[in-house]
Amino acid sequence: MIRPPVLSLGGFRVGSVPYLNAVPLTRGLESQISFVPPSRLAVQLRSGQLDAALVSVTEVLFNDQYDVLDGIAVASRGEVRSVLLAHRQPLEQIREIFCDTASLTSFNLLRVLLAERGLRPELKPLPDYEQCARLDAVLLIGDPAIRFLLSRPDHHILDLGADWRARTGLPFVYAVWALRRSSENAQLRQILRASRDYGLANLDSVIREATDFDLEFRQNYLGRCVHYRLGSEEKKGLAKFAELLQSQGPGPVYEPRFVE
Instruction: Give the domain ranges of the chain.
Output: 14-76+171-259, 83-168
3-state secondary structure of 228: strand
Res 4: pLDDT: 58
- State the alpha helices, DSSP H only, in the chain: 38-46, 58-62, 104-116, 142-150, 160-168, 186-201, 203-209, 215-220, 232-248
Res 121: pLDDT: 97
Q: Which CATH number does 14-76+171-259 carry?
A: 3.40.190.10
Q: Domain 83-168 has what CATH class? A: alpha beta
User: Which residue stretches of the chain have pLDDT < 70?
Assistant: 1-6, 182-183
Res 145: pLDDT: 96
Res 3: pLDDT: 57
Res 159: pLDDT: 98
**For residues 196 and 25, what is the distance between their CA atoms, to the nearest angstrom?**
4
Angle of the 38-46 helix axis to the 104-116 helix axis, nearest 10 = 110
Domains 14-76+171-259 and 83-168 share a fold: yes
Res 2: pLDDT: 53
Pick from 104, 27, 14: nearest CA to 53 = 14
